[in-house]
Structure 1
Amino acid sequence: MTGYAVVDVETTGLFPGGHDRIAEIAIVQVDSDGQIEDTWATLVNPGRDLGPQQIHGINASDTRHAPTFNDIAGMVAELLRGRTFVAHNAQFDRRFVWHAFAATGYDVPLIAPTTLCTMRTGAQLFPTAPRSLAGACFHHGVTLDSAHEALSDARAAAELLRIYLAGGARHAVPGWDDVVELAATTPWPLIPATGATPVRRGVATERDTHFLARLAAARTLPITTWEKEEYLELVDRALLDRHISAREHDQLAEFCVQLKIGREEAGALHREYLSGLAAVAWADGVLDPAEVADFLAVAGMLGVTVADARQILESPMLTGSETTSGRAVTVDNGSSAMSSRFTLNPGDLVVFTGSMDEPRDVWERRAGAAGLVPHPAVTKKVRLVVAADPDSMSGKARKAESYGIPVVSEIGFARILDDVARSTAVGARTAG
């Protein structure tokens, strides 16, 4: 099938021959006159951290559901076969796609002589127009719905291609027809299709249900002390950065399913955890608005209603037992709930991973100032991993998960550093 395949990729970085990977790809098939025939797009699991997420806006919680490039290689090949590869700044996109195929073991004919670039073509036809995709779109009145979203960018580039074809690109650009003919006649290797389903942005909100919703209603056996303490420790670690990531939802759900902890038992344990948190908040005899807001936020993450949370917060010294469907669950002033609370101490090893908002050396200096020791690799001796995205698929984050080491965000780490600073100040006053 002759015609064009307008491609856009969002990537983890700028270097396709090294560690960087495709995180999203879109292909818009266009006929010889520039009319759109079909569109296709998917997120891609890069098997590493997502790089500059502040630019492309892709979340690890979404890409964890996405196919790898190996899964979609056959489909991508079918969409590109016999068509001229087109992109805005085409060398960038073409090299990433070529390297992605090469990593799966296929040498595909994605080379400069079979590629056209809307950025270069625009500069030749309209020398005074901006070269960037956003600038060119504005100049020509093309809608760019969401910059750095692959399908939006590919659609916009396809519309620019239509305008350029109508403006005489075939005649104005030397060798245009030769490129099209070579692309149409160059054979591609046969790459089997796997039938992998494309995954779009936002899929995590549909698939990653709250871990409580995945549990059975209740169980008949009583919860042992070990089970309770292990579960509450897991809850505490998940709440370090005041965000339960998709990975942590999975961990909590898996733990409950393995030990047959139902929703009712988990709910009772959450209220016990909150009782302990309330006791900590009341330790100085005063509750400030920030403590109340934090407490209610934690309660919401644990599926406890605002009314129940306020009752717990207003009665921090309550002792006795809560009865859930006739089964007693011990509540002990929160001492058990908070006895295994996660803390960092001077000399603890901390690992950083991913492209963060703040430069990594800034975080390393802040960690060092708090008495912590930045470490280059994850070992069993590491106490905490700080990631640009808590659901990061970097090797460091995956190893941390296998070792049971908490993975927190930058915001969460800043909160932890504040806690360390307050604890240090309190200790200094007490010693004085």
Structure 2
Amino acid sequence: MDRLRESDYVVVDVETTGFAADRGDRIVEIALLRCRPGHGVVGRFVTLVDPQVPVRARWVHGIRADDVQRAPRFVDIAAEVRRRLEDAVIVAHNSRFDLAFLDAELSRSGSALPESPTLCTMGLTARLGLPVPGRSLRSCCEHFAIQIDREHGAEHDAQAAAQLLLRLLREALTRGWDDLEDLGCVPAVRRADAPRRSLPQPPDAAPAHRRLVTAARTLGDTWPVADADVAAYLDLLDRVLADRVVTTAEVDALAAMARRCDLEVNVVAAAHREYLGRLVAAAWDDGVLSDDELRDIAEVATLLGIAPGEAAELSSPRRPAWAS
């Protein structure tokens, strides 16, 4: 493998219309920051993108349809994006999510990801065994006192991830890690060639669980996961639940992420059980678990494929004795 010090790294962050790259969700903003150990950020490309589909997930990024009305389409910037990714390690925080969208957009534009190694800062943080409080970008950055000016803006998140990357590389070098292989770099993951024009559009969202989903927003900041593949899957699960809606497209996106992470069914099931247990524990923080919240637990359990009896069993040990 190439030497760690001698490589360039392109940090990628995308904001999207949803979470299902395979179901027609599109990029609405992209940031690419080229970094070099010892030099910091040496190149920058940031732009809004007209997704040519309704702009959804505004609760995440705050981007409106009016904001992208005069923005370039991805096909208009595909060559520039491809050029900036060349001759570098491609990096993102939960790289499987961002690169799935990049791959889909480049494929739709008649191009493809370059044959470059890829690196996940979330996975590298776990690989280094750092005592971070959670797996989110904010949580990992807090360990190094890196400030994020505004979360879920492509440029701000990419800037924070770039700073995080450089600190992680410095940490790796102090441990004598000198090759990209030591970092856990993997080849770029590509999709099978297929026409993109006929991709179905994600369905309209349907309302779901309010109280527990509010609790879900904190799990990425408070629950570190040592297994990088499981962490990548749970990061997407956080995003799916955090808007208080669940769509068929998002369920499909979770299944696709599990496949990309090569997670066995039993591993996913175990992660779902722990996830639900942590949600229940978070719901108990105010000392009350109402009938509405119990119904929400049942709905989340159904989404996660957990039987009602098992969901009740996961909930009952966390009921304070004084509340029985």
Please give the alpha-carbon distance, in whole angstroms, between the structure 1 residues aligned to 2:180 and 2:151. Answer: 30
| CA separation of 1:173 and 1:138: change in aligned 2, threshold 3 A | farther
**Structure 2 counterpart of 1:165, one-letter code:** L
- Structure 1 counterpart of 2:131: 128
- Structure 2 counterpart of 1:45: 50
User: Of 78, 82, 91, which residue of structure 2 is paired with 1:86?
Assistant: 91
1:359 is the counterpart of 2:201:
no
Q: CA deviation at 1:126?
A: 3.7
Q: CA deviation at 1:172?
A: 8.3
Q: CA deviation at 1:359?
A: 3.4
Deviation per CA, 1:77-107, whole angstroms, max 9, x where unpaired?
A: 1111111100000111111101100001113
| CA separation of 1:38 and 1:355: change in aligned 2, threshold 3 A | farther
- Structure 1 counterpart of 2:23: 18
| CA separation of 1:101 and 1:126: change in aligned 2, threshold 3 A | same
- Structure 2 counterpart of 1:74: 79
**Structure 2 counterpart of 1:53, one-letter code:** R
Please give the alpha-carbon distance, in whole angstroms, between the structure 2 residues aligned to 1:176 and 1:32. Answer: 16
SS at match of 1:17: helix
Q: CA deviation at 1:127?
A: 3.7
Kept after mapping to 2: 8 A contact 1:51/1:355? no
**Structure 1 counterpart of 2:145, one-letter code:** G
**TM norm structure 1:** 0.40
User: Of 150, 163, 169, which residue of structure 1 is paired with 2:167?
Assistant: 163
1:175 is the counterpart of 2:175:
no
Q: What do you get for the CA RMSD once the two structures are aligned? A: 2.8
Q: CA deviation at 1:177?
A: 7.3
Kept after mapping to 1: 8 A contact 2:34/2:43? yes
**TM norm structure 2:** 0.53
Aligned length: 187
- Structure 2 counterpart of 1:119: 122
SS at match of 2:177: helix
Kept after mapping to 2: 8 A contact 1:4/1:85? yes
The 5-angstrom pairing of residues 241-390 of structure 1 reads 359=207
| CA separation of 1:168 and 1:74: change in aligned 2, threshold 3 A | same
- Structure 1 counterpart of 2:113: 108
SS at match of 2:45: strand
1:138 is the counterpart of 2:148:
no
- Structure 2 counterpart of 1:276: none
Q: CA deviation at 1:136?
A: 1.1
Please give the alpha-carbon distance, in whole angstroms, between the structure 1 residues aligned to 2:56 and 2:204. Answer: 5
Q: CA deviation at 1:174?
A: 7.2
Please give the alpha-carbon distance, in whole angstroms, between the structure 2 residues aligned to 1:85 and 1:114. Answer: 6
**Structure 2 counterpart of 1:86, one-letter code:** V
| CA separation of 1:12 and 1:173: change in aligned 2, threshold 3 A | farther
| CA separation of 1:159 and 1:355: change in aligned 2, threshold 3 A | farther
Unaligned runs of 5+ in 2: 1-5, 189-201, 209-324
Please give the alpha-carbon distance, in whole angstroms, between the structure 1 residues aligned to 2:178 and 2:7. Answer: 20
User: Of 9, 13, 17, which residue of structure 2 is paired with 1:4?
Assistant: 9
Q: CA deviation at 1:2?
A: 4.3
Deviation per CA, 1:218-254, whole angstroms, max 9, x where unpaired?
A: xxxxxxxxxxxxxxxxxxxxxxxxxxxxxxxxxxxxx
Q: CA deviation at 1:138?
A: 1.6
- Identity among equivalent positions (%) equals 36
Please give the alpha-carbon distance, in whole angstroms, between the structure 2 residues aligned to 1:105 and 1:82. Answer: 20
- Structure 2 counterpart of 1:236: none
Q: CA deviation at 1:7?
A: 0.5
Structure of greater relative contact order (alpha carbons < 8 Å, 6+ residues apart): 2
